[in-house]
Amino acid sequence: MPPLPEILSQLNDDMRANDTWGDVAAYIPELARVDPAQFAIAVTTDDGDVFTAGNADTAFSVQSITKVFTLAIALGRSGDQLWRRVGREPSGRAFNSIVQLEQESGRPRNPFINAGAIVTTDEILTGREPRDTLAEILQFVRAAAGDDNIHINHSVAASETAHGHRNFALAHFLASCGNLNNTPEKALGTYFHHCAIEMSVRQLAMAGRFLIETPKFPRMILPQRIRRLNALMLTCGHYDGSGDFAYRVGLPAKSGVGGGILAIVPGKASIAVWSPGLNRYGNSLKGTQAMASLARAMGWSIF
Ligand code: GLU
């Protein structure tokens, strides 16, 4: 097997050789302006080494990938009580589906679809102000990455606030079912802002280390919780494309509409990939291809 840096460099060349990049997320105007023809990948191993290829230091909007961090915080705060408000099953529906939430009386299927992440955010927000909640989320992400130079892009948050009609519909429906402790505006304001955190693939791969479960990295959450987060990433991390991603890649992972994907090789590595063009499920097109190639080349799979 060639060494990892060579594999990543070859992968970068392969991804750029083909001109089908997918479509950027159009429903958030700030994201619609991003050039889709970009690619970056970073791998952090359990030894603490980082290998990268492509635009590895370009910051991008991590969007739904923050749902992994907010879930870790919410479970740390509320424990199993959280599951009274949100389920743990794959949705088989689009990330922003409204119909399923109504059919299931306002209890979202899982914490990674939008409705579930709004509930998780609301749980962390309860009894506190959005500013303090966002500071805690940022602090967690920065500590995980070992990097204080990670910020929220306020233009992206404002853009989503102005155009996030579906998320407002979901939040108001949750409130009508008694499944929001805060006003929809407050819960969504916090949710849009944590989704607007920006990181490079290098920073994101570093931030993913807390999910590797290795004694070599300072423990941020309980080992049992790491396994459970990984289980949810595998079954629910790619919305209605989760089964396909598990089949092709075989690793727990979480995607975001900014075109990023964070994947974990338990006990071994954390991988971040970014390419802003999306496939029909709203997951990075080239990011998914690259994850599949890397997993194959390295023999990485949980199966
Ligand atoms: N902020 C985005 C939304 O709520 C996140 C979606 C995603 O990244 O998949 O629609």
DSSP sequence for 173-234: HHHHTT--SS-HHHHHHHHHHHHTEEE-HHHHHHHGGGGT--TTS---S-HHHHHHHHHHHH
Tell me: pLDDT of 161 over 80. Answer: yes
Neighbour tally for 149: CB within 10 Å: 10
Q: Are residues 249 and 163 in the same domain?
A: no
pLDDT for the residue numbered 2 = 82
Share of the chain above pLDDT 90, in %: 94
pLDDT for the residue numbered 267 = 95
- Report the pLDDT averaged over residues 31-60: 96
Closest residue to atom 3 of ligand 1, CA basis: 114
281 is catalytic: no
Q: Are residues 150 and 294 in the same domain?
A: no
Q: Which of 24, 43, 62, 67 is catalytic?
A: 67
Q: Are residues 152 and 98 in the same domain?
A: yes
Share of the chain above pLDDT 70, in %: 100
- Report the pLDDT averaged over residues 105-119: 97
64 is catalytic: yes
Residue 96 near ligand 1, beta carbon < 6 Å:
yes
- Report the pLDDT averaged over residues 114-134: 98
The β-bridge relationship of strands 269-274 and 40-45 is antiparallel
Tell me: the pLDDT tens digits for 175-187?
999 999 999 999 9
pLDDT for the residue numbered 298 = 97
Show the domain range for 82.
Answer: 64-196
The domain that holds 157 is classified in CATH as 3.40.710.10
Tell me: pLDDT of 218 over 90. Answer: no
| Residue where a domain stops, chosen among 196, 221, 245 | 196
Tell me: the pLDDT tens digits for 242-288?
999 999 999 999 999 999 999 999 999 999 999 999 999 999 999 99
Residue with tokens 């992440």: 117
Domain count, the chain: 2
Residue 61 near ligand 1, beta carbon < 6 Å:
no
How far apart (Å, rounded) are the C-alpha atoms in residues 73 and 147?
Answer: 18
Residue 256 near ligand 1, beta carbon < 6 Å:
yes
How far apart (Å, rounded) are the C-alpha atoms in residues 292 and 286?
Answer: 10
Residue 282 near ligand 1, beta carbon < 6 Å:
yes
Residue 303 lies in a domain: no
How far apart (Å, rounded) are the C-alpha atoms in residues 70 and 256?
Answer: 14
68 is catalytic: no
Q: Which of 119, 159, 201, 239 is catalytic?
A: 239
Residue 140 near ligand 1, beta carbon < 6 Å:
no
Q: Are residues 54 and 69 in the same domain?
A: no
Output the average pLDDT for the chain: 96
